[in-house]
Amino acid sequence: MSTKNSKSSESKKGHDSEQADLTTVKTNSKGAVITGIPYWTEYIDEKTGRAFFLHKLTKKRSWGLPLKDVLKDPRMKGPSGDDDWECHIDPKTFKRFYRSKMYKKLQWKMPHIYGTTVGRLPYFSDEYVKERLAARNNKIVEKNDGITAQAVMKKVSLLDAIENNVVCAAFHRFLVATYAEENLLFYGAVEVFDKGEWKGMKTLGVEMKNAMSNNLDEGSDMLQQQLKASRASMRMGMMEKPKTMKAEAGVIYDKFLQSDSELWVCVSEGSKQEIIKQITEATDTTDLRGIFDSAQEQVYESMIEALYPRFITIEMKEDSCKGFEADEVVRATLLQLGGFTNEFLS
């Protein structure tokens, strides 16, 4: 009898300590995930790698999915709540899966994704999950065998990379870490000047023509944080509503080509002299599209030679860089752009 009570007290003590640990875990807005359940946001405990959930209003924290706060489907049978669903991380693949104590089942997707009818979710058996995790891990090793950074660069050009939202954002983060982001910003500024738009600017969260400074597109919290950490992105806005191409060209020149500019890019002195000459001689109605072409080409070639190769080698985990880490999603996107495999996105 005493043994049973002792086990019970130990179990309760362990449960209480787990809850105490949860109350002391610091939330990190960069890792927040909107769950789709009102007021509940998912976070990851950096020490344990385990997911937990925070209620925005009550500040309540829970290890399990707070399904009791979802409007229940009348067809749903049985209880549901904080103590039912648990999130687990596979140590080999770092992929999340979810376990239901009530149904004694596992599944890949978070339950609320499929609506509120818990009984109709696509449950998988324990063995099925284990087999899938093992198979996925083997496929990754098999598909990546022999794929080098050099092979990726042959298939995926810098232009392909910066035209893809995922890779462009990662390349920008790399340039920020290496104090070279002015190269990509200048390239984008010229694209906007010549063509009226460049989708990469929205990816970077910068409105070229609509703000003087500190004006970001609405986007994910993570992207906002990345931009706040950059040296120059928040000051990339052009003058408010430029009325002429001459005025806009002058702003680009001052921001990137003046020798004392914080965003100075390296181009030939001859190119700079030709640009300033055309701006000076232009009238308010002069079409100046194309005056930055030579300078843009020089900056683009510089990125190809000095920056893009290292970015790819880091993403393919052949090199490292302080302040920037490889990302599996970016790596998978590069492989898909190069036509190597689609397994990563399945």
Digitized pLDDT (tens) for each residue of the chain, 346 residues in all: 445 455 444 444 444 444 434 455 455 454 566 555 666 777 777 676 677 778 777 778 877 766 555 444 343 334 444 456 666 665 555 566 666 766 666 666 655 433 333 333 333 344 444 454 455 444 443 445 568 888 888 899 999 998 888 888 889 888 888 888 889 989 988 888 888 777 676 666 544 333 223 333 334 454 445 444 443 343 344 444 557 888 888 888 988 998 888 888 999 999 999 999 999 999 988 889 999 999 999 999 999 998 999 999 888 887 777 777 777 888 888 888 888 864 444 3
Please tell me the class of the 149-345 domain.
mainly alpha
Place of tokens 């995790």: 133
| Predicted pLDDT of residue 203 | 66
From the list 141, 143, 158, 147, the residue with the least C-alpha distance to 318 is 147
| Predicted pLDDT of residue 158 | 92
| Predicted pLDDT of residue 72 | 42
| Predicted pLDDT of residue 70 | 47
CB-based contacts of 85, cutoff 8 Å, min separation 6 = 64, 65, 67, 98, 99, 100, 101, 111
CB-based contacts of 88, cutoff 8 Å, min separation 6 = 50, 96, 97, 98, 99
For residue 151, the surrounding DSSP H or E stretch is: helix 149-155
Q: Which amino acid is at 86?
A: E
Q: Which amino acid is at 322?
A: K
| Predicted pLDDT of residue 178 | 86
Question: How far apart are alpha carbons 214 and 40 in whole angstroms?
Answer: 30
| Start and end residues for every CATH 1.10.167.10 domain found in the chain | 149-345
| Contact status, residue 26 vs residue 52, Cβ threshold 8 Å | no
Question: How far apart are alpha carbons 187 and 36 in whole angstroms?
Answer: 38
| Contact status, residue 98 vs residue 114, Cβ threshold 8 Å | no
Question: How far apart are alpha carbons 118 and 78 in whole angstroms?
Answer: 9
pTM recorded for the entire structure: 0.51
